[in-house]
Each structure stands twice: as C-alpha cells, then as structure tokens.
Structure 1
Amino acid sequence: MMLAEETKQQIQQAYRDFLAGRGIRARYGQRMMIAEIAKYVSAIQSHDGERTSPPSACVIEAGTGTGKTLSYLLAMIPLARQLNKKLVISTATVALQDQIVGRDLPDLKEFAKLNISWTLAKGRGRYLCLSRLENKLHEHGQGDSDTMPLFLLEEPSAEAGDNRQFMEELLASYASRQWDGDRDHWPGGIPDETWRQVTTDHRQCTNRHCNYFDTCAFFAARGYQENADVIVANHDLVLADLTLGGGAILPRPEDTLYVFDEAHHLPDKALGHFAASLSLQGTRHWLKQVSQALTRIVPFVPPGSGAARVVDSIGAAARDLDPMLDGVYRYLLTETPWPDEGEEDSDHYRYPQGQIGGGVKELVDAAVIASSTLVRHLNTLLEELEKGFDDRKTSDLDRSTAEAWYPAIGTLQNRAEAGLRLWQSFAAKDEGKGPPTARWLQRESWETGDDITLYSSPVLADSLLYSRLWTRAFGAVLTSATLTALGRFDRLRQRAGLPEESQYIVVPSAFRYAEMATVEVPANAIDPSDAAAFTEALVKALPEIWRDESAVLVLFTSRRQMHDVRDLLAPGFPEQIVTQDDMSKAAVLAHHRERIDRGETSILFGVASFAEGIDLPGAYLRHVIITRLPFSVPNDPIEASLAEWITVRGGNPFMEISVPDASIRLIQAAGRLLRTEDDRGRITILDRRIVSRRYGRLLLDALPPFRRILA
C-alpha cells in the first residue's frame, strides 16, 4: 500500500494543529515514531482488503517523555481509515486505558481537529446480564425455586446477604437509562459477591436466543465498536478474543490494525491465557454439585426422551470420574518425590523436562478419556437446549426450560472443558521444537481438607502468539519504554514469537539524563546472599541514605523483607513510612502526595508492581532506592523449566534469561524517577553485585546514561 498524499497531509496537519493547540514544541522522538509507523503500515501489501505480504510487526522502544501515545494515535487513525481497517489499542493496565479514553483521545479530537470516535472494549464480565438479574430477583421472591438452576452452582457467601433492594436499584437505573450496565460506571462500585450474581460469561450467555438480547448492555457496547474509529482494549481481552477464534469480542484480526502499548507484558499475559490447572478434591466437590443440579433438571425433561438419556449419561460420567480423581490424588500424594519438609517450596513438585512418569501417565490417560466423555455429554445436552430456543426444530425441551437451564449447563461445560484441557496438556507429547511444557504439582491445605492442584503451562508464548495473532493481524505496532534487554530486542523476539520481517526501532529520549539525575552505588552497598544479614544491613543503611530527603521510593524484591525492614524502622520514622500493602495502590499514592503537599516527609516501600507504572513527577519523587537487583524467583516452575531446557541444549540460562530479564526490570525501576523533562533526582542501588560482578556491569551499562557515582 502506498501512503496516500491526502493521508500524509492529514497526519502532518493534525500534528501541527495539536502542537499549536497545546502550545508545545515538536519532539524529535515523536516525529520519528510517527514516521516509522507510517512507513511500516504503508509497506503492507494487500489485495481486496486481505494482507498478502508476510506477517510482520513494528516494534518501537520509546522512553518516558517521548509522547508515544500521541505518536501512534496520530499516525494510526488516518492510516486505519485509508485502509478501511479497525484500530484496536491494547494496554496492559486499566490506568493507561483510562488515560487514553479520558485524556489522550479527547485532547486529540480537540487540539488536532480530528473528527474521531472511540469506545472502550470490555468482556461480558464487566456488564450487567438482565436475564440473570431478573432471575435473581425472581429467586428472592420465590424462595428456593426449581426454575433458578444457575444459582445451585454457586458457593453461598455470607457477604452476599439479602441484597434485593440493591438489585432493584440496578434494574431501575438500567431501565431508566441512568446507567448503561457497565460495572465501572456504577457510582460507588458494586461488591464482587453481588456482581457475580448479575453478570455472565460466553458459556452462560444465550446470545440472540435471550429475551433481553435487544436491550443487552454487552451487545449494546459491542454495537458501538461498529462505528468507532478507535477501540481501546487490553491485552487480556485481545487474548480472550483470540482464544475464542478471533472476532468474537473484537473485530477479526484480519480486519484490524493493532497497537500494543506496554507491549513487554504481552508474552506473560499470553502464557496466563494458555495455561491450565485443576484441583483434584475441588473438582470432586464440583462433581457432587453436578449431580445435585441434574436431579433438579429431571422434572423438566420428558421421561425416555433423548434429553433424558443425555442427563443420565452426564450423571454416569460424573460418577465414573470421581473415584478416578480420588485415585490420582492418592497416587500423587504418596508416589511423588516431594521435597523434604522444611525445605523451601516443600509443597511444590515440578516434573523435570515436563516428563511425567509411567504410573502418572496411565492415570492421566484414563482421566482424559473420562473427562472427554463428560464434556461430550454436556455438549450434547447444550445442543438439546439450543433446539428448545428454535421453534423450527423439534425438541424434547420447551423454551422456558431452555432459558432456565442453558446458562447452568454452559457453566458446567466450561468447567468440564477447563479440566479436560489440563488432562490433555499433561498427556500430550511435546513436539521437541521448543522447550517442553512446564508441568507441576502443588499441595494445599484448606479448612475443608487437603488438596493437590495440577498445573500445566507453555514455557514460551512464541508459537501461540505467532499462529493466533501475528499471522492473522493486518498489522501490529508494539511499543513500550522497555522492550530491549541489554540493548537488544532478542529476548522480546524470543518470548513473543515475532515474525522475521518485523522492524525494530529505538526512539531517542528527550531527557538529558546526565544533567537530570545520578545513579549511585555507595561504599556500604551490600551483598544480598544472606537474607537475614541483608535485612539487618538495610535497616542500618537506609536512614543515612535518605537523610534530609522528603520524597523517597524504596523498592524491594521480597515482600517479606519489605515488611521486616518497615517493622524495624517504623519506630524511628512514625507515619513517614508507608508500604504498598497498607492501603490500595491509589490510596497509598494519594497519601504520599498529600504529605508532600503539606511539606512533610513520605517514604514509600514497594515491590514489583511499584517498580513499574506509578507516576510521581516533580517534587513527589526525588530519590529511588533499589535494594536488590531484580532477578526473578529461581524456583518459578515456568522459569525453571525454561532454564532447564537451555541447559540441556548447552546454553547458559543465567546469562541468556535471568540477566536480560533483570535488565528490563532494573530499567523500569529506575524509570520511576524521571517523568517529565523538568524532573531531577537520584537513584541509589544497594546491591554490591552491580559493580562487583561481570553481569552487574552489563546491567549498569544498559541503564539510561545517568551521571554515575560509584564508590
């Protein structure tokens, strides 16, 4: 595709108008980013709207202060219009979604003089289900009603209580159009326990068969996407849509230009979507609920009918599966080589190279067959229920039975399919082209008894993202402040499975790092190998390091250590130290800003989530203290499986994986300090390995060019 002259002029004029409207100067990095995106998209070849050129992505690392959101919006909106494609902006966090919808897009419309529309895309679980709300209100009025089967499948909660009045308020507000059915738009919030009773998912939803389809909040929101120029989503929603085949929630990938902001999160998000788990005793308890539910449907099914035979088959399949699960539990409990009591993670066991033993394999193969049988019969019952919605088809079940029971059976089928995915993943033979699937066990103790949960996860999301996203998307831009590791894109390319034709760009920062901040490693920097000694040393060193400063962020890699240090220092710093666990994230940051505004000292203690994504410009943050180099936990089953695979192939997992990943996290942590071109401050690293080890120098050199003060 050639970049149309009209589109080029529109992008350039919109940028000039925006700068003039906001009274700001053009930034070199911003202009470069706009140009690179336009060049990438215009190079995509297509015929009759279908991409014909090889799959590719445009990967842009753009540091804080670049103005990357404005850059990709200014470039992509006119390009998407020229191509007649949908533009989906995907973020990793709700905060950035809210910023784009609440600030960036309105600013663009006002100052760049672009006539644009947008919508915020969310899954079904964020919207009211009128059918469930009506059923719940009916249940309140009827008591224990046989016509309300879905609620038989829910665990009762003391917190839920009798909230009929509140549910009536929800219904009245929605009916009067004072509320659009979006959970996030309800003033004051809706408790989780209540919300779970009045929302739905794709398995429970009857779609066009529902009596409330024409007034459905979720489908009304879906309708807005048809005419919107920009759809703002998140990585989880994009991945959920791809899991459903693409085009179920969002536009088809083939019709979409994507922008993945905070793109460094995408591989981990993908792993989470394609992982599987199953608790053995928990599943047995659920199977009892299945039996209870089936006894309630029997009066609504004609005796001797096909539906009645399916109900009997489901009951038989559930009864066959229960003792099988009990046998797996007893075998794993006694035959698994669990670590000795007292050892770290003694309740975890990871199968080396993902290979399960012969005895386990036989049990797993049998569970696959039994679970497949249960899923097959549930699918058949769903098909029978679907016939009840269609007056043109002969069905054993009437419409009222179908409406009442379809969501309940859909829930059962969803749970059964999730269990089958775990068993199939445990039974599958790894192809050998990449790292084997990570498979592990975890023993757990609850008030109701002991349990074992089985976990399975791909180690890399590369092939999954390649096959489901990159080969299907018309085009994709990935951007973040931290996409390179040790100055290279290799780690991202490996983890995300990016196509060979992809382009990689680093946009120069507008910050004058050497003038704005220092990175310091003091003489009393500590070797953290002994955790207890390290805690003691931190307690001694920190007060001297932050002396005479009022706005400090101290970052830890261990939550326990963070609390231990806080408890030991708190008496000497009353009300000054606040950890991220003391309140919600928003409340902690608000408390911090209020103290700074009053001229008081505020010292924030945080772990990984505070090392990324918090924004404290100017006087709100002058000093970032990094207590320890942010290496990942060595016993994480997925990380351990990847390291094992690299070792078997003759590689060095520490240098290939651990150090690059630590580099990204260290840059993110250091990035909390400078948020605008007027910010000033210092970064202190208390881990002596940053200067005493060879890899430490690599990590130090990968940081932005701060002025260094090394003792």
Structure 2
Amino acid sequence: MVPDNVKQSMQKTLNALRDTPGFTSRKGQMTMFAEVAKTLFGVYQEGDQPHRSLVIEGQTGAGKTLGYLLPAIVSAIKLKKHVVVATANVALQQQIMNHDLPRLRKAGLHFEQAFVAGRGRYFCRRDAETFVNDQDAPDLLTDEADVQHQRKHRTQVEQLITLFDANQWNGLKDDYRGKLSLEQPWWSQVNANRDTCSRRNCAHYDNCAFFDARKDVRDAQVIVTNHAMLYADMLHVQPEMRLLPAAKDSIFVFDEAHHIRDTFRSSLAAELNFELLSKLDRNSGRLVNHIQSLVNGASLDVVNVDNLAVRMRDDFKLMSSAASQIIDCAHGYLGEARASAFKKPVHRFEQGALPEQLQLLLSEQLQPALEGLNGACQKVNEKIKDAQEKAISDDSRLQNYLGSLRNLTQTVESALNACVLLKTEINPKQGIARWLTRHSDLRVDITLSATPIQVGRQFEREIVTPAFATIFTSATLQSLGSFRRFSEQLSLYQKDGVQFLVIESPFDYKKAQLVTYRDLPEPNFNNEAAHTSAMLKRFGNDIGEHKAALVLFASKRQMQSFVDKLPAALAADSLVQYTATRDSLVRRHKKRVDEGKRSILIGCQSFSEGLDLPGAYLTFVGIAKLPFADVNCPIAASESEFIEAQGLHPFAMIALPDASRRLVQCVGRLMRSQDCYGEVRIYDSRLQTKGYGKQLLNCLPPMLQRVE
C-alpha cells in the first residue's frame, strides 16, 4: 500500500496549490495522483510480474503533467529514487522546468531539478577557442567569399565565448537568448562531443557546460530530458560517462508517449551518408597529415606512424572506390527522378533484402576500408589515453589535430555501424527496413538507410525492465478506442504488471460541432487536384465569420497547391508553415487575432500536435484528409509488408488505428480550455462512404456532428 506519510505529503502540497491563483482541482487529476502512487509502490504487482508500469491517456484538459509529477516526486523522495521525465519536444520540457516544477516547490515540496540534453546541445569552450584561433591558411581553391564566411563565423563564435565567460549564458543551446541563430553548420564544430572531449585534462573542465550539467544531475531528484537522450544514454554510452542516474534507481516518466515507438526506432537506425564519406575523401590528405602531426607533436608512442599513414591513405582510396560504386548502383535503383522541396526520391528494398551487388560492395570493400581507418584511429586514441591528453590540452594546435582525429573516428564509427546493420541477417520476429534516398541533384547526396521494424521487445527488455518503474502518458494513446496498438508496439502487457488508465477531458464538447461531407471527391493521390479544387470552393464560405482558423494537410504538396490557389483576400490572411518558424507564426497569429483581424494558420502534420490556441485564438479547424501514413514512407511500407507476410491485414492492424490516433490529435486542436468553442470540418468523404468511417467518427471527442 501507499504509505500514509506519502499520502499526507501529497495532500499537503495539493492544499497549498489550491490556494494559488489560477489553479483548478480536477477530478481526473485526483485519480492520476492515486494511480501513479499505487503503481510506484507496487500495489498492482502480483507474483513474479516484472513491471511497475502505468499507461495513462490523459485527454486534453485532464491536467496530466501535474497529475504525474506530484505523486512521482513525493514517492521518489520516500523510495530514494530519481524521477526522469522524458518528453518529445523542447516546448514541453521548458514548461515543466520553468512552470510546473517551480509551482510544486512554491507549494512546499522540496526537491532539486535539472535539465539534461544530448552532448551536442552543449557549448564546448575549448573547441570554440580552437575554432576561433584556427589560422590554417586558405588553399588556392578557396575564394574570397569563403574567406569572408570563415571570418564571419569566427566572429559569431567569439560572441558566444564572451557570453559564456561572462556567465551570461550557461552553454546550453536551448537556453541561448541572443539574436544570433545557433542553427548554423559551425555549431557541430563548437558543441560538446564525446569523441573530442578530454574530460579532466581539459583546461576548461572546471567551467564546462556539459560537466556542470552532470554535476546538477547528481544532486537532482527530478531530471527533465527527451526521449532520444534517454535512449542514447542507456543504449550507447558507457556507464561511467552516462548523464542520467542508473535505471534501477529511476522512475521513468514518458510524456508524449505516442512518439516512443518512432523515437526508439530512430535510436536503433543507421544511415550511410555518402556526402559525408565524400567529404572525408576530399579531406583525407589533410586528416592523415593532422594525425601524423599529432603523433609527432605530442611524442605519442605510435610505432611506424609513417607506415600507419600509408595504410590510412590506402584505406581512404578503397573507401572512395567502394562508395563511388555504391553511388552508381544507387542511381540505377533511384532512376532519373529529381529531388524537390516536396519529394525526395526513395527506393525501398522489398523484404529489407539488399541486392547481392550492394552486399558485396559493403562486405568486401567499404566495411574493410572503414575497419582499417577505425583501427588506425583507435591506435592513436589509445596512446592519447595512456599519457598525453594533458600536454595536448595545453597546445591549441595539437587540440586542433586531436579534434580532426576524433571527428574522423566518430564519422568512421558511425559509417561502420551502418554497414553492420545494413548487412545484418533479417530477424523474422523483428524485420528490417532498408532503402535509398536521393536528397538533392548532387551525385553524392544519397543515403542508404536501415531501421528495425518491430522494436517492442527490445524496448521492453532494455528500457522498461531495468527501470525501477515506468509511467507512460499522452493525450492520445488509444487507437480506435483501445490501447491494443500502443501495447503491441512497445510490448507492454497487463500480464507483466502494466496497468492502463483513461482520464477523460473535462471540457464541454457540446460547444463545438464536427462537420463532414458526403459528396466531395475522394482525396487519393490520382484525385488530389480535384479534391483540392472542391475544398477551395467550399472553404471561403465554411470559414465564414471565424477570425481564427487552422487548416491541416497530410502532405506539403497538397498544402502548397491549396495555398497557391487561395483567393487574394484569404491568402492575405494566411500564415503558412515553412515560411517562418512555428513559434513565429503562432505569435503573429495571436497578434492578428488580438487586433481583431482574421488569421488563418496553414500547416501539415507537425501543426496537429503541441499547438495550443485556446478560446478566441482558434474557433475553426479544417482537416483536408484523413491522416493515413504516407504510402511512400519506406518504414511504414516495410511494416505493412512485414505484417502481411504473417498472414495479417496491414490496413486493419496498422493504417486504420494509426490514422484514428492522428485524427483525434487533429480534431483536438480546437478544444484547449473550458472557454473553447467553434467547429471542425473534415474534407474527406471517406468518413461517410467507407465502412471504416463510422469507426473513426465514433472515436472522436463527443462534439455535435453534422453531414453536408
């Protein structure tokens, strides 16, 4: 049972919260408090059930963030555990760090908090200094424009150094508030990197953004991070270099849990990027010279360094030859189709099976070349670890050479791991997707990718089982009114101790209506132009007197076609995704509404979640078509193929449940608070003409429904 002092602490904090302005106590939240605490204290575990796990669909307005934070923190303090909250986007992380956790502390709950991002989001003071001081003269092929760019970039990095040294910035990319955009190619040269980090031997170790974050984590009872960081820390980092506390001492809370399967898949995926390999080839002479200079300059005990350099040059040639042949093969499979802003040509290998020619090129040429380069890098790295890092850290030129070595090591290791996954025998219980993508008209701008299809068993084994307890929550976890799809994706079953809970929305959905259509052209690919035209004919009248609208599309292609044909008056009121950042568009939208003007936000899938526009900021939502997965997505196509091979029906097993969940998200954009009202219009006649339409409609929020 939950100890009395835990219940009392939760009640005391809740009473204090009730006395704060703007706090509303919600029935569903009370249920969450109780169920989370019971789960953490093992109330539902029976016999040898391995998991203390709870899956909660906390529908919009249920107050799920506080609903899990309060019981998790109070329970963790009693159990001497850490709470690790992992989310899928930065906005929610910032809300938890800057609003929800401080609110609990003000209510009298005592705990320390920390934020953890991946190494790549932290500023490296040493590498920044190396970047600024790198005086390598431009070669004969470098034009004046390139020189000016280099000077500009160095000036920008100098500004970051000044801010960091003055303690006006903590070195975390997400916390930078200056005017400079950090979404720059040079960021990868000045961010923290495990392969270039010299740890305690660095002159800046005592003032390091990354290691300061590690120190914060050690003292924190609550740690906020993201899904990808949690997976990377558990799966790919040696225990002594991990940022997060041990899983056995942690309560993992996965918010936005509907993303978990995809983010976990991504952590296991691999990609051979031939543009990167081409860049290595172009810089191979310089890289080898840097490694020789590092060995000689730091007096490293590397035997026959000149012979090592010769072998590296031979391996670079073999790598270049193999990559070139693979690229030739890739163009043969991809054909003449050109990449555009709306479509990147893809060739998916059926059943995940690579052709024999590609297998041989990977096995007999590219992998041996990469293994040779990796072996050479490791020989030098081992000698650095033995004795010389301190001497190198005091010499900026040697630091530069060390950076070249470790960047080469990282790129080669990544390519080598991709080769291994691309060649791996297909596990019939897991399956694998393999495909080629052309990204631009550059010959080398091609990737060969691979990702496992069924990852639930691995997720359960490597993430859920090691943890003390796990909580999964989102506003949309059910598909077609059931947790079955989510449960199967992650191998989370009641027989293992996992509990499932739905907290319904407290909002009055009778203040909204849902309008569907019976006679519009069916929005399949071949009929897309006719569907777009029919939608345009209705849209101006449908939006009527609404001042704040959102229109959602399943593809960028159709969205652009719709935008291009909008009447001038509607076009003038429109704010279109990809013309600016989402935050910027939302700010402009709110400003227009505040000024009494009409504002129409138009976007694709990413606008269908995490967009919070309550009350008068959004009274109309238009949905162009049902959000079925893109049939051209190689992972989705491979999953369907995998399910079909087992004698099952992919549409019923995958496509329909996933579309149901996404449609609930789209419709859910309208009702964000008790004050919300308006209408949702779905311009897809399949809701009325197909047998599955009723299933989808029955799973939507209980709005008033009307057919036109």
TM-score, structure 1 length as denominator? 0.90
Residues 386 and 402 in structure 1, CA contact (< 8 A), matched pair in contact too: no
Name the SS for the 1:631 alignment partner. coil
Judging changes above 3 Å, is the alpha-carbon distance between structure 1 residues 413 and 463 closer, same or farther for their aligned structure 2 residues?
Answer: farther
- What's the CA shift string for 1:36-66, capped at 9, x where partnerless? 10110000799xxxx9961342100011111
Stretch moving more, 406-415 or 617-626 = 406-415
How many Å separate the matches in 2 of 1:341 and 1:36?
53
Tell me which residue corresponds to 1:214.
206
Tell me which residue corresponds to 1:21.
20
Judging changes above 3 Å, is the alpha-carbon distance between structure 1 residues 306 and 3 closer, same or farther for their aligned structure 2 residues?
Answer: farther
Match runs of 1:281-360 below 5 Å: 282-302=276-296, 305-306=302-303, 308=305, 309-334=307-332, 336=333, 347-360=345-358
Q: What amino acid sits opposite 1:185 in the alignment?
A: Y
How many Å separate the matches in 1 of 2:166 and 2:274?
46
Cα RMSD (Å) of the superposition?
Answer: 3.0
Judging changes above 3 Å, is the alpha-carbon distance between structure 1 residues 158 and 439 closer, same or farther for their aligned structure 2 residues?
Answer: farther
Stretch moving more, 243-252 or 337-346 = 337-346
Tell me which residue corresponds to 2:620.
623
Stretch moving more, 550-559 or 242-251 = 242-251
CA shift, 1:616, in A, is 0.6
How many Å separate the matches in 1 of 2:295 and 2:171?
34
Tell me which residue corresponds to 1:135.
130
Is 1:575 the equivalent of 2:572? Answer: yes
- What's the CA shift string for 1:531-564, capped at 9, x where partnerless? 1101111111111111122111111112122222
Name the SS for the 1:682 alignment partner. strand
Among candidates 498, 503, 521, match of residue 502 of structure 1: 498
How many Å separate the matches in 2 of 1:117 and 1:545?
51
Name the SS for the 1:527 alignment partner. coil
Residues 290 and 318 in structure 1, CA contact (< 8 A), matched pair in contact too: yes
- What's the CA shift string for 1:72-123, capped at 9, x where partnerless? 111111111111111111111111111111111122222x221232122122
How many Å separate the matches in 2 of 1:380 and 1:282?
23
Match runs of 1:215-294 below 5 Å: 215-245=207-237, 248-280=242-274, 282-294=276-288
Among candidates 594, 602, 607, match of residue 605 of structure 1: 602
Tell me which residue corresponds to 1:179.
169
How many Å separate the matches in 1 of 2:283 and 2:95?
43
Tell me which residue corresponds to 1:170.
160
CA shift, 1:444, in A, is 4.9
How many Å separate the matches in 2 of 1:576 and 1:398?
56
- What's the CA shift string for 1:486-519, capped at 9, x where partnerless? 0111211222233533111111221232x22111
Is 1:31 the equivalent of 2:30? Answer: yes
Match runs of 1:535-684 below 5 Å: 535-573=532-570, 575-684=572-681
Q: What amino acid sits opposite 1:510 in the alignment?
A: P
Tell me which residue corresponds to 1:474.
468
How many Å separate the matches in 2 of 1:483 and 1:541?
33
Stretch moving more, 520-529 or 413-422 = 520-529
CA shift, 1:415, in A, is 0.6
How many Å separate the matches in 2 of 1:338 and 1:353?
20
How many Å separate the matches in 2 of 1:579 and 1:599?
20
CA shift, 1:196, in A, is 3.5
How many Å separate the matches in 2 of 1:17 and 1:143?
61
Name the SS for the 1:505 alignment partner. strand
Judging changes above 3 Å, is the alpha-carbon distance between structure 1 residues 38 and 368 closer, same or farther for their aligned structure 2 residues?
Answer: same
Judging changes above 3 Å, is the alpha-carbon distance between structure 1 residues 372 and 624 closer, same or farther for their aligned structure 2 residues?
Answer: same
Residues 339 and 346 in structure 1, CA contact (< 8 A), matched pair in contact too: no
Stretch moving more, 238-247 or 225-234 = 238-247
Where structure 2 has 5 or more consecutive residues not aligned to the other structure, the ranges are none
Tell me which residue corresponds to 1:149.
none
Among candidates 681, 684, 687, match of residue 687 of structure 1: 684
Among candidates 54, 68, 71, match of residue 64 of structure 2: 68
Residues 389 and 399 in structure 1, CA contact (< 8 A), matched pair in contact too: no
Identity %: 31
Judging changes above 3 Å, is the alpha-carbon distance between structure 1 residues 670 and 131 closer, same or farther for their aligned structure 2 residues?
Answer: same
Judging changes above 3 Å, is the alpha-carbon distance between structure 1 residues 133 and 23 closer, same or farther for their aligned structure 2 residues?
Answer: closer
Residues 525 and 685 in structure 1, CA contact (< 8 A), matched pair in contact too: no
CA shift, 1:220, in A, is 0.9
Residues 617 and 674 in structure 1, CA contact (< 8 A), matched pair in contact too: yes
Residues 274 and 447 in structure 2, CA contact (< 8 A), matched pair in contact too: yes
- What's the CA shift string for 1:568-588, capped at 9, x where partnerless? 224133521221223221121
How many Å separate the matches in 1 of 2:465 and 2:164?
41
How many Å separate the matches in 1 of 2:702 and 2:385?
63
Judging changes above 3 Å, is the alpha-carbon distance between structure 1 residues 596 and 246 closer, same or farther for their aligned structure 2 residues?
Answer: farther
Residues 124 and 208 in structure 2, CA contact (< 8 A), matched pair in contact too: yes
CA shift, 1:23, in A, is 6.1
Residues 339 and 347 in structure 1, CA contact (< 8 A), matched pair in contact too: no
How many Å separate the matches in 2 of 1:345 and 1:124?
32
CA shift, 1:30, in A, is 0.3
TM-score, structure 2 length as denominator? 0.91
Name the SS for the 1:356 alignment partner. coil
CA shift, 1:479, in A, is 0.4
Judging changes above 3 Å, is the alpha-carbon distance between structure 1 residues 548 and 523 closer, same or farther for their aligned structure 2 residues?
Answer: farther
Where structure 1 has 5 or more consecutive residues not aligned to the other structure, the ranges are 147-151
How many Å separate the matches in 2 of 1:418 and 1:35?
45
Residues 115 and 223 in structure 2, CA contact (< 8 A), matched pair in contact too: yes
Among candidates 694, 699, 704, match of residue 707 of structure 1: 704
How many Å separate the matches in 1 of 2:259 and 2:236?
21
Residues 521 and 530 in structure 2, CA contact (< 8 A), matched pair in contact too: no
Judging changes above 3 Å, is the alpha-carbon distance between structure 1 residues 218 and 390 closer, same or farther for their aligned structure 2 residues?
Answer: closer
Among candidates 106, 109, 112, match of residue 105 of structure 2: 109
Name the SS for the 1:250 alignment partner. coil
How many Å separate the matches in 1 of 2:437 and 2:187?
30
How many Å separate the matches in 2 of 1:337 and 1:166?
40
Is 1:413 the equivalent of 2:398? Answer: no
Residues 130 and 399 in structure 2, CA contact (< 8 A), matched pair in contact too: no
Q: What amino acid sits opposite 1:368 in the alignment?
A: Q
CA shift, 1:317, in A, is 2.3
Name the SS for the 1:3 alignment partner. coil
Tell me which residue corresponds to 1:388.
387
Judging changes above 3 Å, is the alpha-carbon distance between structure 1 residues 621 and 157 closer, same or farther for their aligned structure 2 residues?
Answer: farther
Tell me which residue corresponds to 2:429.
433
Is 1:528 the equivalent of 2:520? Answer: no
CA shift, 1:166, in A, is 4.3
How many Å separate the matches in 2 of 1:244 and 1:370?
24
Name the SS for the 2:85 alignment partner. strand
How many Å separate the matches in 1 of 2:642 and 2:136?
57
How many Å separate the matches in 2 of 1:673 and 1:398?
56
Q: What amino acid sits opposite 1:120 in the alignment?
A: F
How many Å separate the matches in 2 of 1:158 and 1:485?
54
Q: What amino acid sits opposite 2:273 in the alignment?
A: S
Tell me which residue corresponds to 1:378.
377
Name the SS for the 2:151 alignment partner. coil
- What's the CA shift string for 1:568-619, capped at 9, x where partnerless? 2241335212212232211211111112111121122111111111111001
Stretch moving more, 406-415 or 655-664 = 406-415
How many Å separate the matches in 2 of 1:57 and 1:468?
14
